Amino acid sequence: MSDLSRERAFVLRETRSKAPPLIPEIRLRLADEAMDLWQATEADLGRAGLPPPFWAFAWAGGQALARHVLDHPEIVRGARVLDFAAGSGIVAIAAKLAGARDVVAADIDAYARAAILINAGDNGVAVTAPDTDFLDRGAAGFDVVLAGDVFYERPMAARVEPFLRAAQAAGAAVLFGDPGRAYLPATGIAPLASYEVPVPRAIEDRDVRTTRVWRFA
């Protein structure tokens, strides 16, 4: 198993520490330009066609969900929490700051796992970031499952929705943040909160996204 030293060095070299607009309590290693970082990632690994560096941006769904968790710490206090498709780890860090007992930040991208561990350390909390595909493993053993901005692609959404519904059916509290992505489930969900999240125009083609925190109805 990789110790992520190479990925850690890359994250530190290619990003800088910033506070996301909606979450000034948390600092993350974030990129200024998506395309530049994407190209740098491909150069670092010596191959093209890699997935976008989702971990290097504080996406609207993650910001809204992290804000909601920090403002309502009872959601996670004392709980074992899974932050699914964790990206930068913003939601995992918020959960730990809000009093979660244990937090697992799940992402299949090694650069994301490196960023998560760096970001957690920078915010004075401990989370784990295992090299595990939880879509295959399932979410057994977690009290709370959180997911920020996961319904942006049809293939991803087709796997994530049943995964999250199964976690809820098994007894976990499941919350997800979404700014109106194309593949958000059309039925069987209920809003819990709404936030106006500042976002980079270069990525989102607008300056603010109305973003909701949802649960399954």
Percent of the chain with pLDDT over 70: 90
For residue 144, give Cα distances in angstroms to 25, 65, 136, 140, 215.
22, 13, 18, 10, 12
What pLDDT does residue 53 have?
79
Q: Residue 48 pairs with which residues in a beta bridge? A: none
Q: What separation, in Å, do the N-terminal and C-terminal C-alpha atoms of the chain show?
A: 39
pTM (two decimals): 0.93
pLDDT over 90 (residue 32) = no
Its CATH architecture, for the domain 5-216, is 3-Layer(aba) Sandwich (3.40)
